[in-house]
Structure formats: structure tokens, C-alpha cells
Chain A
């Protein structure tokens, strides 16, 4: 898994690729701890191949963080395999998640 960060005014986009599972999610977690507050947070999953419940959990954590800070959060460019996982949990009804 790799994280590529793109910054614009008031907006941070994190492009996460590879497999987001129990072994790699702690890296994302540590990265999020270091991330400064931002108005608009975007996860770009265009290169993400796999997400497990640990990864979903990190997505939910990011959503909650933005909710508390009254900021915006969205997940974009989700592949259908990964979208299936979000659909399964139903969180795509709460969080803005868009497919490729």
C-alpha cells in the first residue's frame, strides 16, 4: 500500500493504492494521526485493489473526524470490487462514495 498526498486550498486528496488490509491499515492510521485539520478531505481509491474491514474502519474514522470538525469528506474513483464491500456494510448511504 502506498499513500500519495495532493494538496489544494482547503482540500487534501489522499490517493491510496494496493491492498488495504489488517497489515497495511495501521500505516494509514498513523498517517491520519499526523494529518493536519482540513476543510475538505478526499480519499482517491482509483488504484485500490482490496479493502478489508480494517480499511473500512479507517474510512469510517476519517468520516467521523471530518464530521466533528464540520468539514467535508468523500471517497472517489472506487472500483466495483471495493464498492461491493462498501455496499455490503451500507455505509455508502452515510458517506459520499462514488465509483469510477
Chain B
């Protein structure tokens, strides 16, 4: 394990194959066994050799003693005897260095008391040419102290010789001679060592054979099947192949049980996968249904962007799930006033969405019936209370705007306060706070009224805005929202407030899970006039425009110039001499911009096409064509739409440089 951590096993074979690892282990064990055997053999050979000398020596001595039962007077006669020849044969048979016999009574006249029988040894002489004198070991044997002795010396040829001495006794048990058997140590040692080595090799071979058998057994009965199982599992895991063929199960051992379990597992997984497939199909169907539900719900609400006479509406509804419990609504009332509403049903998802549908209708038809926000809320509350088995409730802010006197009447049924912005001020609409709808019948609802000056903006929202949370569970909060309102009020932008606010919220939440529906609606108030499409009405248009008191006259003259150009253009071309139509001119003054909007029901015509710049105009070449150049110089932002049978041209003039100059 440590080796793997250190990257010791570079070869992936060792990482992958258990068999390879076992093989390595077996090889290491074999090496250990060989080393052990060698050491063991050396030690046992050393101890064996001692007994070898003694045993062989004794054996030869006994044989020699039998041969020497008759011991000749002159020892030299012995050399030619049959006994001597037998001893010489022994010498050869046992690979002895030499055999010698020594008598105790030396016939000194011959100068020797020794005979030597040898295949290669040489008779040793002392300096005087005398042959050998009795050594201490021989003396001990002659005197009867010992039966035998063993000692080691170096021969004149430099061989290590082991000498074994044994006495030869007469019938009276007197030692008459000593027989010496000289072994060449090297020769004997090598011989024994050789056979010991040979034995070691045999053992090693047998051991190796056993190990190989073991490895083969492991390979075929364990690792082979394991590899099959692991390969199947790998395929299963990596490619998701649901192999239908089963592993073959034989016997009842652990591996067979494992294979059986694996078969069972794959069966179950296949079943689950099929079940999941069915569930997924059902989920997709229900998702498709929810998408349709979301479409239906969105379809209940008016368009997200709308211009009507003097007000411009931008709204957004973003459900936390597919369908929401939030809604916004607006609707021109039969008397020319405008009904505005935002609401939030308790809970979310399907139940909230169903109750939302009911609430939208209850509020809408009561608004048509009663016109007054308080009466509408009172009636809607009673209607909802009567059909609310699940005890859900709705918070709502409803208002009615009257363009005739610029008044906004409102009623807040337990909803977040509405904000009125403009000229750097952000005010909350208060004084009409009532109970939410749906749970308490016959509850009293009151309303309050405020005068809206052109250029103001009403901002309505649900708590999904202020309670949006970031990944650290911090809330977007009312302060951030108010700061964004103030910032927006001080900017020149074509971007609608709700989409700006939504971007701000999304930047804050950084993709954190959305828990609540988020709905916003912004209503910008302005002025408007409807004129017959005739150049004779240009004076009326000019008077309408010049009534704007908040801008310098010189500024308004420029705007008149642009308005005249567009108005004349519409008068000349929109209705093509058929029955004269009308032009609706709306204006909207914000802190930073003056917005001019023309709507006519004439032929679709985009005046923004083929607009030239002043540089492209040459008075030597043509007289006309200046109008558009001037218009689009004065009104620096333009937008054209053809919508619901209306040509809608919106022009905006940035007031950055003229505010506060002169009045």
C-alpha cells in the first residue's frame, strides 16, 4: 500500500492484477527458501563431515584390522602382501588420500616402522631422513589411553588432510599397530557439499513446482473467474452496458455465490433501470403538463409591457417552481380609469397557482363592478372566503388611477407597501393598510388617495424580491431594493425597472436556490392627447406640449420641433387620404429623460428607416429631408414598434444637460 502511495509501482500491471502480485510474492518466497536451504546445507554439512570421518575411518580401520590379523615381523613384507593390496583397493574405493600402518616396535635397522599405502600420498620424512617418529596421538593409542584419534594437518603438497587413527590389537588386546586413514578434506567436503547442493536443488524444484501449481490453481479457480466478474462490472460501470448474459455459476463456493449475487444484482439493476425509465417518462409528461399550466397561468395575466394613454407598465413574474402563487394585473376600467393590482397567495406550487387563478378572477370582476379599490377588496375577500377549503390566503395591493385628475386611490390588503419614486424621492404609500384576503369574511377595507404628478413611477412587488437569499442565506432586503430604486430614478435608461431589479437580485443571489415566486410591476405616469391626423392640429399639439412647466421653454421648443416633424409625417402618410384617423401623443417626464410617444392606426411605417445624419445633407442638392435629421438629433433615442394595429414610435430626449439651466 505504501509503495502504491509513493508511486513505487509504476507498472499498472501490479495495480490492476492480483495474480501478478501473488506471482511476485511466490517468487520472493522461493528466493527466501533457496537462501535458507543453502545456509541450512552449509551448517548441516559441517556437522555431518565430522561424523563422516569417524564412521568411514572406523569402518576402514575394522576392515584393515581384519586384514592385519597377521602382522608381519618385517613391516616391509606387508607391502607386497594380499592384505596390503586389499587396503590399497579400499583406498581407491573411498577416495582416501592415504592409508598408513605403524608398528609399535620399530625394526630400526630398516629405518622405518611405517608402511604407506596410498594412491597419491607421499611418505613423510624428517630432516634426518628418518621416517617419522611417533606423534602424541599415536603414543596415546599404543599406550592404550585411546582407541582412536582424529587430527588435522597440512601435507607437503599443501592439501588439508584429516587424519583418523585407530589401534590394531592382538588377541590379548595389546596394541600392536596403529592404522591411519588420511582424508583429503577438500575432496570429501566437496563431495558431500555437492550432493547436499543437489538435494537442495531437488527440494527447491519440488517447492517451485508446488508454488506454480498453487499459482495455476489460484489463476484458474479464483483470479480467472474474479477477472471475468470484474470485467463485467467494469463494463457495467463505465459504459452502462446491461449485459443480458449471465455469469456461469458452478458449485457452491464463495466465488460461485459471488457470481450468483452479481447475476441477481444485475437483474435487479436492470429492473430498476426499466422502472426509472418509466418514471422518467412520467416525469417528462408531468413536466410538459406543468409547462402548459405555466403557459395558461401566464396567459391569465396581461402583457408584461404595456402603454395605455398616459401610463406605461412593465411587469415581471418569475415563479420559484413551474407555476406561481404570485400575480400582477392591470386593466382599463369602463370609465377610463386604470385598475392596477399585485398579489401573493400563501404557499407556492400547484395549490397556490390554483388559488391564484381564483384570486385573479375574484379581484378582476369585482374591480369592474366596484371601481373602488376598497370595495373591490371587500367583495373579493368575501368571494374568496366562501370558496377556500384549504384555508389559503392572499395579500394584495390594488389601486385605481384616474388620468382626469391624476389621482391614485389604493388599498393594501396585507401586502408589501407600494413605492412611489421620482425626482430623487422614494416614498412608501401608506394609510390604507388592511387585512389579507381569503380567511375573514366581511372584513372592512379602507382606501387612501394620492396625487400623482407626471414623471412619477409606482413600484409594486411581492416578498420574493426582498426575501431573495444568497448562498450564505443573507436576504436581499428592503434597503437594497430602495437603494436600487433611488439609483434607477437617477439614471438615463431605456431598461424597464423590473428587469433592472431582477438583474440586481440575480447578481445578489449568485444562483442560489429560489424559494419564492418573484413578481414586480412598475407604472410610469405621463400626459397624453388624442388629435385628428391633420396638420391643422399642429397648434393644438404645440399647446399641449408647451403646457409642460417643468422644462425650460427653449428645451420645449426643440421638442415641439421634433413632435411637429413626426406629427406632420403621420398626417401626410399614415392614412393615405382615406377617412382621417387620429394620433395619440403621450409624454412622460422622468428625472433624466423626456419621452414622447406617438401612436396611430395607419399603415405600418417605420420612420427610423433611412435616417441620415446632418453631415450627409447638402442644401445645394435638395431642399427637404431636414426634418428627420433634426428630429433624431433632438430625440437621441428612438424605438419603433407595430403592435395590435398601432404604429408606436417612442422618442426620448436625454435631459442631462438642460436641467436647472433656465426655466
Contact between chains at A90 and B565 (CB < 8 Å):
no
Minimum C-beta distance from B574 to chain A (A)? 15
Contact between chains at B538 and A21 (CB < 8 Å):
yes
Contact between chains at B619 and A22 (CB < 8 Å):
no
Contact of B558 among A53, A57, A64, A84 (CB under 8 A): A84
Minimum C-beta distance from A7 to chain B (A)? 26
Contact of A60 among B557, B560, B626 (CB under 8 A): B626
A61 with B557: in contact, given A22-B568, A90-B617 (CB under 8 Å)? no
Is residue A88 contacting chain B, with contact meaning CB distance below 8 A? Answer: yes
Is residue B8 contacting chain A, with contact meaning CB distance below 8 A? Answer: no
Chain A, residue nearest B632 (CB): A88
- Where chain A touches its partner, the secondary structure class is helix
Contact of B633 among A22, A63, A88, A91 (CB under 8 A): A88
Contact between chains at B565 and A89 (CB < 8 Å):
no
Chain B, residue nearest A50 (CB): B557
Is residue A80 contacting chain B, with contact meaning CB distance below 8 A? Answer: yes
- Highest count of chain A CB atoms <10 Å: which of B619, B624, B634: B619
Is residue B83 contacting chain A, with contact meaning CB distance below 8 A? Answer: no
Task: Collect the chain B residues with CB atoms within 8 Å of residue A91's CB.
Answer: 617, 619, 626
Is residue A52 contacting chain B, with contact meaning CB distance below 8 A? Answer: yes
Q: Per-residue CB proximity of B622-654 to A under 8 Å, as 1/0?
A: 011011011101100000000000000000000
Contact between chains at A53 and B627 (CB < 8 Å):
yes
Contact between chains at A64 and B561 (CB < 8 Å):
no
Is residue B479 contacting chain A, with contact meaning CB distance below 8 A? Answer: no
Contact between chains at B619 and A64 (CB < 8 Å):
yes
Task: Collect the chain B residues with CB atoms within 8 Å of residue A51's CB.
Answer: 561
Contact of A22 among B538, B554, B614, B626 (CB under 8 A): B538
14 residue pairs from A and B, CB less than 8 Å apart: A19-B542, A22-B535, A22-B564, A52-B561, A52-B564, A52-B627, A53-B626, A53-B631, A60-B623, A60-B626, A64-B620, A64-B623, A89-B629, A91-B626
Contact between chains at B542 and A85 (CB < 8 Å):
no
Is residue A95 contacting chain B, with contact meaning CB distance below 8 A? Answer: yes
Task: Collect the chain A residues with CB atoms within 8 Å of residue B630's CB.
Answer: 53, 56, 85, 88-89
Contact between chains at A23 and B538 (CB < 8 Å):
yes
A94 with B535: in contact, given A81-B554, A88-B629 (CB under 8 Å)? no
Contact between chains at B619 and A95 (CB < 8 Å):
yes
Is residue A76 contacting chain B, with contact meaning CB distance below 8 A? Answer: no
Q: How far is the CA of A2 from the CA of B629 in the complex (A)?
A: 27
Is residue A28 contacting chain B, with contact meaning CB distance below 8 A? Answer: no
Q: Per-residue CB proximity of A1-31 to B under 8 Å, as 1/0?
A: 0000000000000000001011100000000
- Highest count of chain B CB atoms <10 Å: which of A19, A49, A88, A91: A88
Task: Collect the chain A residues with CB atoms within 8 Å of residue B539's CB.
Answer: 23
A21 with B626: in contact, given A54-B568, A84-B558, A88-B614 (CB under 8 Å)? no
Task: Collect the chain B residues with CB atoms within 8 Å of residue A63's CB.
Answer: 619
Chain A, residue nearest B539 (CB): A23
Contact between chains at A57 and B554 (CB < 8 Å):
no
Is residue B615 contacting chain A, with contact meaning CB distance below 8 A? Answer: yes
Task: Collect the chain B residues with CB atoms within 8 Å of residue A53's CB.
Answer: 561, 564-565, 626-627, 630-631
- Where chain B touches its partner, the secondary structure class is helix
We find that the number of chain B residues with CB closer than 8 angstroms to chain A is: 28
Minimum C-beta distance from B541 to chain A (A)? 10
Q: How far is the CA of A28 from the CA of B497 in the complex (A)?
A: 47
Task: Collect the chain B residues with CB atoms within 8 Å of residue A21's CB.
Answer: 538, 542, 564
Q: How far is the CA of A91 from the CA of B561 in the complex (A)?
A: 17
Extra contacts besides A80-B554, A90-B617 (19): CB < 8 Å: A21-B542, A22-B564, A23-B536, A23-B538, A52-B561, A53-B626, A56-B626, A60-B623, A61-B623, A63-B619, A64-B620, A81-B557, A84-B554, A84-B558, A88-B614, A88-B633, A89-B626, A91-B619, A91-B626
Task: Collect the chain B residues with CB atoms within 8 Å of residue A90's CB.
Answer: 614-615, 617
Q: For chain B residues 289-336, which have a beta carbon within 8 Å of chain A?
A: none
Task: Collect the chain B residues with CB atoms within 8 Å of residue A60's CB.
Answer: 619, 623, 626
Minimum C-beta distance from B2 to chain A (A)? 85
Contact between chains at A89 and B564 (CB < 8 Å):
no
Q: Per-residue CB proximity of A58-83 to B under 8 Å, as 1/0?
A: 00110110010000000000001100
Task: Collect the chain B residues with CB atoms within 8 Å of residue A94's CB.
Answer: 618-620
- Highest count of chain B CB atoms <10 Å: which of A19, A50, A64, A85: A50
Q: How far is the CA of A63 from the CA of B624 in the complex (A)?
A: 13
Task: Collect the chain B residues with CB atoms within 8 Å of residue A61's CB.
Answer: 623
Q: How far is the CA of A99 from the CA of B181 in the complex (A)?
A: 152
Q: How far is the CA of A60 from the CA of B554 in the complex (A)?
A: 23
Chain B, residue nearest A84 (CB): B558
Task: Collect the chain B residues with CB atoms within 8 Å of residue A50's CB.
Answer: 557, 560-561
Task: Collect the chain A residues with CB atoms within 8 Å of residue B629's CB.
Answer: 88-89
- Highest count of chain B CB atoms <10 Å: which of A51, A52, A56: A52
Task: Collect the chain B residues with CB atoms within 8 Å of residue A64's CB.
Answer: 619-620, 623
Q: How far is the CA of A88 from the CA of B614 in the complex (A)?
A: 7
Chain A, residue nearest B614 (CB): A90
Task: Collect the chain A residues with CB atoms within 8 Å of residue B538's CB.
Answer: 21-23
Q: Per-residue CB proximity of B456-500 to A under 8 Å, as 1/0?
A: 000000000000000000000000000000000000000000000
Q: How far is the CA of A95 from the CA of B627 in the complex (A)?
A: 18
Task: Collect the chain A residues with CB atoms within 8 Å of residue B568's CB.
Answer: 22, 54
Q: Per-residue CB proximity of B563-584 to A under 8 Å, as 1/0?
A: 0110010000000000000000
Minimum C-beta distance from B200 to chain A (A)? 115
Task: Collect the chain A residues with CB atoms within 8 Å of residue B620's CB.
Answer: 64, 67, 94
Task: Collect the chain B residues with CB atoms within 8 Å of residue A88's CB.
Answer: 614, 629-630, 633-634
Q: For chain B residues 324-354, which have a beta carbon within 8 Å of chain A?
A: none
Minimum C-beta distance from A31 to chain B (A)? 17
Q: How far is the CA of A19 from the CA of B623 in the complex (A)?
A: 20
Chain A, residue nearest B558 (CB): A84
Task: Collect the chain A residues with CB atoms within 8 Å of residue B623's CB.
Answer: 57, 60-61, 64
Minimum C-beta distance from B544 to chain A (A)? 14
Q: How far is the CA of A52 from the CA of B563 in the complex (A)?
A: 10
Contact between chains at B554 and A89 (CB < 8 Å):
no
Task: Collect the chain B residues with CB atoms within 8 Å of residue A85's CB.
Answer: 558, 561, 630
Minimum C-beta distance from A86 to chain B (A)? 10
Instruction: Report, nearest first, the 10 A-B pairs whose CB atoms are least far apart.
Output: A53-B627, A90-B614, A81-B554, A52-B564, A60-B619, A88-B633, A89-B626, A53-B626, A94-B619, A60-B623
A89 with B617: in contact, given A53-B561, A60-B626, A80-B554 (CB under 8 Å)? yes
Task: Collect the chain A residues with CB atoms within 8 Å of residue B565's CB.
Answer: 52-53
Task: Collect the chain A residues with CB atoms within 8 Å of residue B618's CB.
Answer: 94
Q: How far is the CA of A53 from the CA of B568 in the complex (A)?
A: 10
Task: Collect the chain A residues with CB atoms within 8 Å of residue B627's CB.
Answer: 52-54
Chain B, residue nearest A49 (CB): B557
Task: Collect the chain A residues with CB atoms within 8 Å of residue B560's CB.
Answer: 50, 52
Q: How far is the CA of A88 from the CA of B632 in the complex (A)?
A: 10
Q: Per-residue CB proximity of B527-559 to A under 8 Å, as 1/0?
A: 000000001101100100000000000100110
Q: How far is the CA of A49 from the CA of B456 in the complex (A)?
A: 31
